[in-house]
Amino acid sequence: MKQRSASYPSYTILESLDFAEGIYKNYGNSYRATREEIAEALGYSASSLTQKVSAAVQYGLLDLKSKEGYRVTDLFVKCFRPISDEAKQEGIIECFKSPQLYSDLIEVFENNILPPSKPLANILLQKHSIAEKACDKAAEIFETNAVDVGAIGDDRVLRLKIKNTNVVEEEVDVEQEEEQDIIIEESHKPTIYKNSNNNHQNKRINEDDRSFNENSPIPHNIPLKNKLPAQLLLPSDVSSADFDFIISYIGLIRNQY
């Protein structure tokens, strides 16, 4: 029996925008076109449009009404005819957050490091019911989208904040620069880890003997043979379910080494 995959976009956001643009230029934003009409207008066969229209619908660029057809959405118009660069970026990010699969992944990885493509594909297979034959492609498209919308950079941390392109940089005088240098130097004081008396957790203190912030991550040094120790930072409210996820995640990372 053929394994049925959970839904995922088979095309990127930029590809889907191009596809929706073709529909918009032929039918505007009010007429609902059938799949056959779209195929004829864009030079496709009706059967070849399944994944294209599915991706555009998942990103929120097309709206489908049963027995009537597809039309472009307000979100498409926001991206295609934006009133500002910031509004366009906002619309693109909204597209990125629209598919249910992407919403689930963002909930897990936002402000955290996005795994490389292979471990991510394994996560999609094991945690999100994406089929074996589809998980690699689904992971690749998600990562491509994340790069295209500016959600990940070289550090691979997934961030969905909209960049303000209208910010004007002010000149900084010499005294301000010197003051900033002092602040930077203070922030880079070495951190020392000491064991607490009750041995339940490590406490983090700076050289100036500041009080420990109970909300800070708790560091755990893991000794490795003939190597520097590995370090695991855990929130103070970590749960058993969190440990299960961490163990599973480390197992996926291990496949890359």
The series of mean pLDDT values per 10 residues for the chain, 257 residues long, is 80 98 96 96 92 97 95 98 96 98 96 94 96 96 97 92 50 47 43 43 41 57 69 74 73 63
Percentage helix, strand, coil for the chain under 3-state DSSP, each rounded to 5: 50, 15, 40
Distance between CA 99 and CA 186 in Å, rounded?
44
Phi, psi of 228 (to 5 degrees): -65, 150
pLDDT at residue 257, as a whole number: 57
Query: What architecture does CATH give domain 13-79?
Result: Orthogonal Bundle (1.10)
pLDDT at residue 37, as a whole number: 96
Distance between CA 12 and CA 131 in Å, rounded?
19
Q: Which residues of 41-62 are buried (b: 16+ CB within 10 A; e: fewer)?
A: eeeeeeeebeebbbbbbbbbbb
Distance spanning both ends of the chain, measured CA to CA: 34
Which of helix, strand or coil describes residue 66?
coil
Task: Answer whether 95's CB lies under 8 Å from 61's CB.
Answer: yes
- Of residues 139, 130, 93, the one with CA closest to residue 7: 130
- Of residues 85, 109, 86, the one with CA closest to residue 97: 109
pLDDT at residue 100, as a whole number: 97
- Of residues 215, 232, 216, the one with CA closest to residue 224: 232
Distance between CA 139 and CA 55 in Å, rounded?
14
Distance between CA 71 and CA 33 in Å, rounded?
6
Task: Answer whether 76's CB lies under 8 Å from 14's CB.
Answer: no
Which of helix, strand or coil describes residue 242?
helix
Residue 151: other Cβ atoms inside 10 A:
22
| Beta-strand relationship, 218-222 and 202-206 | unpaired
Question: Which residues, other chains included, contact 249 with Cβ-Cβ below 8 Å and sequence gap of 6+?
Answer: 115
| 236 burial via Cβ count (<10 Å: 0-12, 13-18, 19+) | exposed
- Give me the half-sphere count of Cα atoms (radius 13 Å) on the Cβ side of residue 215: 0
What is the pTM for the complete model shown? 0.66
Distance between CA 19 and CA 55 in Å, rounded?
10
